[in-house]
Chains A and B, each alone.
Chain A
Amino acid sequence: MVRSRIGCLFLSISLILTGCWDSNEVDDMAYVISLGLDQGTHNKLQVSMLIAIPKNITEGGGKSASGTEGKSKNPGSETSEVVTVETPTITAGFNMINAFISREISLAHLKAIVFSEKIARAGVKDFLDYFERDREVRSTASVIVARGTAEEFLRSLKPVLETNPSKYIELTANASSYTSFIPKTSIKKFIAATLSYDEQAFAVMGGINKQALHIEEPIPLKDTFRRRPDSELPNEGEYLPGNVPRKGDVERELMGTAIFDGDRMVGEFNALETSVMLMLRGDFHRNFWSIIDPGKKRQFVAIDFRQAKAPLIKVSRRGNQVKIKVTLHLEGSIMEIQSNIQYERQKQTRILEKSIAGYISAIAERTIKIAQQEYKADVFMFGNRVRRTFWLQDDWEKANWKATFSKALITVDTKFLITRSGLLYKTNQVISSKSIEE
């Protein structure tokens, strides 16, 4: 009896003891959803934090929030607040922000880390340590490189469909699973890649669409990025983030991939190249893609692409000479045929499949060539396969794959199958008075 009483006493003490020092009331905390890092002007760093205003989220985001430089806010942005400080370190930024914010800063709900392009090109290694060391930071937080400043990018958050800014950030970052225009990133994978001997890091490219390009005006060539030479019309995946021709209230855009060598950004892939990069990595989920109709000029066939199975990567190595043969296995459904050509028929289907397979192989080889010659960065995880050809870790590390990647001979072969054609079994011609005579 005495023993059980003593046991109960200790149990109750252990339950209430933590409240003495480590109790955190949810409404005493300011939850940072996105963290932006820019180069400082007076100090090393400019830290911007997008902080959720939970009261307004629960009320549906209709109320205006105070403290936004006296500007009136758009509906939707009141659910969050952006604060910026100049600081030597990220953690020092918390102290400084707590000089004028009433609640204690917490990164327990951090969804995205945004680097400005300038800071990304200068190197981000000085700031990565914090994200690995701090217990609060989620390793699943996305990594974004913003064209312009990270602060501007955070301030441009104006979710229209969501009242919860956290959900908006999480859903847009996960668009990779159904558009493949951006890669799926996480701070854990980013840091792991910067530390590894076999792959390079990458991040999502983001930008702000200031006024939404006038759709009526022709798009200047400079506003698209690495446009295909064989088409006079741009592909949907060739636009830069911030330059997508569109109208609408949401300013921020995520498009393409920022490529890093170690901790420095060395270049970027457009959305089309990003899709191919994901196919080569085996991370590709789904994408609607407009392909030039092999049978008619200025006409497109839209395909719903999926990765049928993981890419087959064969590696042969002799000393430092590496040969890689990649076979992509893709399948797709026809979503649109503008030309009325009956691609549902088997013979026509084979023609379309061959054309698409050749097209994807060409883009893949071009993308690999850019990575090898311009960026010297293996973001395709080929090194991950090459390491299997070594027995000892020392030999693998001395082989310095990150440097020898640019000399590797890489070929891509695509196997593409059209498995479905939507709800249509065949495509009939539109009948007009002239069409029968033609």
Chain B
Amino acid sequence: MLKEGKFGPFETMWLLVLFCCTKLILGFPRTMIMLGGSAGWMIPIISAIPVLLGFTIIVLLLKHFPGQSIIEAGTGAAGPIIGNIAATGYLVFFIVITAMVLREFAESIKIMTLPMTPLPVIVLSFFLAAVVCVYLGLEVCARLSVVIAIPMLAVIVLIVILICREYNFNYLFPLLGKGPQKLLLWGMIKCSNYSEIIFAGLVINSIGGWQQTFKTGIKAIFLSILVSAMITAVIIMTFNSQMAEEFYLPLFRLTKEITIGRFFQRVEAVFIIIWTLVGLLYCTLGLYAATAIFARMLNASDYKPLVPAMAMIILTVAFLPHDMKAAVVLDSEIIRVYSWLISFAVPLIILLIAVIKGYKPKFKRK
């Protein structure tokens, strides 16, 4: 059993919110607008239904195996073969999303502020910091997430307020955008955007049981979806869907619009500092998740010896796409379309196996 430390519901919530919302800084709003047009902001809201359902399935599975994470629960319910296949699925998911976010973040920093710095230097300096954080442990990451998430949320609220003079509510019309069928379909498929919520099932013992995980998880999902929908709507209202779907980094583009008087202009540099920290924490959590899953698969008592190997794998995967566009396509058109199969469908299958095998929900004695 891994020793991961303990943290409270407050830290858990912000940790999950940060893990789910980091993509807002990247291409998430653009993808929503491309899929839904003027109603792109509705897609995250529709996604709430499958995400809540999927998260309930994860918690129901964990309810059957108190004191165990989603990895051990899989092995316990479906046996070592199916359990390890499921764990490999989770492992691949975390490796690939961490690698892609790392690559996209590095590319974004290169576009936004450091055009002359070589990409490997940005990736390495970024990822080395993540490796250090993972060595410091999950508890440190959880506490760090509170320190980063609150300024991050404050920055988002500040952007929404400072840009309000540019809003044109008419850009949210036609109200149904590209049509109710497309909105519903993409809303369901794009629940993959919140696949990171499975992380809660991995660190359930640090959170303090399934009841606590369920409560904080639901709060984190609602907050993440609210922030995602709000930012997408603000981007549509500020530009219009035709222009907004052109941007590689819509949120960065939004901050470029902030102008208050002749003095307060070009403030995007202030936001980039916070975003870099958010990206760093995402990579830290991704690397931790991948390492912890692998350690659990090996029944190791400590994950730290595996960190360098896992970091190397993630770095290698990050450099696999030959250009920025390839990384974006892999992330938004493949991972964020099919990852629900791993994060929500696999736990459902394992839960069904557990129910068929006659496992019953158990309550851990205090």
Contacts and interface: CB of A to CB of B under 8 A. Distances in A.
A134 B266 CA distance: 14
B125 A13 contact: yes
B363 interface: no
A188 B257 contact: yes
Given A6-B132, A22-B113, A192 B239 contact: yes
A152 B243 CA distance: 32
A232 interface: no
Contacts of A6: 132
A201 B175 CA distance: 24
Interface string B159-200: 000000000101101111111000000000000000000000
Residue of B114, B243, B256 most packed against chain A (CB within 10 A): B243
B173 A21 contact: no
Contacts of A22: 113-117
B136 A3 contact: yes
Contacts of B226: none
Contact of A394 (B117, B175, B178): B178
A14 B125 contact: yes
A13 B177 CA distance: 48
Given A3-B136, A18-B117, A139-B257, A393 B129 contact: no
B258 to A, nearest CB: 10
Interface stretch (A317-325, A327-335, A382-390): A382-390
Given A108-B266, A392-B178, A132 B246 contact: yes
B242 A138 contact: no
A196 interface: yes
Contacts of A384: 168, 170-171
A170 B170 CA distance: 29
Nearest to A108: B266
> What interface size band does chain B fall in?
35 or more
A390 B173 CA distance: 7
B111 interface: yes
A333 B135 CA distance: 70
A198 B118 CA distance: 42
Interface string A1-43: 0010011001001100110111000000000000000000000
B244 to A, nearest CB: 9
Contact of B175 (A20, A139, A192, A391): A391
A233 interface: no
A170 B262 contact: yes
B121 A388 contact: no
B228 interface: no
Given A10-B128, A17-B125, A392 B259 contact: no
Interface in A360-413: 384-385, 387-388, 390-396
B284 to A, nearest CB: 13
A231 interface: no
A151 B136 CA distance: 60
Contacts of B266: 108, 138
B27 to A, nearest CB: 16
Nearest to B128: A10
Contact of B241 (A17, A188, A393): A393
B38 interface: yes
A379 B259 CA distance: 24
B179 A394 contact: yes
Contacts of B175: 391
Contacts of A10: 125, 128-129, 132
Interface string B129-145: 10010011000000000
Contacts of B343: none
Contact of A196 (B113, B116, B243, B265): B243
Given A392-B179, A393-B37, A387 B115 contact: no
Given A21-B121, A198-B170, A390-B174, 5 more contacts: A139-B257, A191-B243, A384-B170, A391-B175, A393-B39
The 6 A-B pairs of least Cβ separation, nearest first, read: A21-B116, A390-B174, A393-B37, A21-B117, A384-B170, A195-B242
22 contacts: A3-B132, A3-B135, A7-B132, A10-B129, A10-B132, A13-B125, A17-B117, A18-B114, A21-B118, A22-B116, A108-B266, A140-B259, A140-B265, A188-B239, A195-B246, A196-B243, A385-B170, A388-B174, A391-B174, A391-B176, A392-B178, A393-B176
